Amino acid sequence: MRIGIVQTPKELEVDLGDGADRETVLKDIEASLERGGVLWLTDRRGRRVGVPTGQVAYVEVGAPSNERRVGFGAP
């Protein structure tokens, strides 16, 4: 998952791991952005990452793991 921050050229990349449910993560992100405050995520190593929701420019969630990839990005 990549999160763009307002007025910052860099992105924040968080690896949620294979066990994270994509739809649950998306719903949690949407709810957090609607209510405001801080968007908290836990990466695959158990580290917590917090981003003020007012500073989020965009959120990019990767493709589901069972989706077949073709081209240069294919494993």
Tens of pLDDT, residue by residue, the chain (75 residues): 899 999 988 898 888 877 778 888 889 889 999 999 998 988 888 899 898 999 999 998 876 655 555 666 555
The span from the CA of 32 to the CA of 37, in Å, is 7
The span from the CA of 36 to the CA of 18, in Å, is 27
Handedness of CA 72, 26, 49, 46 (dihedral sign): negative
* pTM of the full structure: 0.71
- The residue ranges of every structural domain in the chain are 2-60
The token pair at 21 is 């449910």
The token pair at 29 is 């992100």
Q: Which of 51, 32, 35 is nearest to 43 (CA)?
A: 51
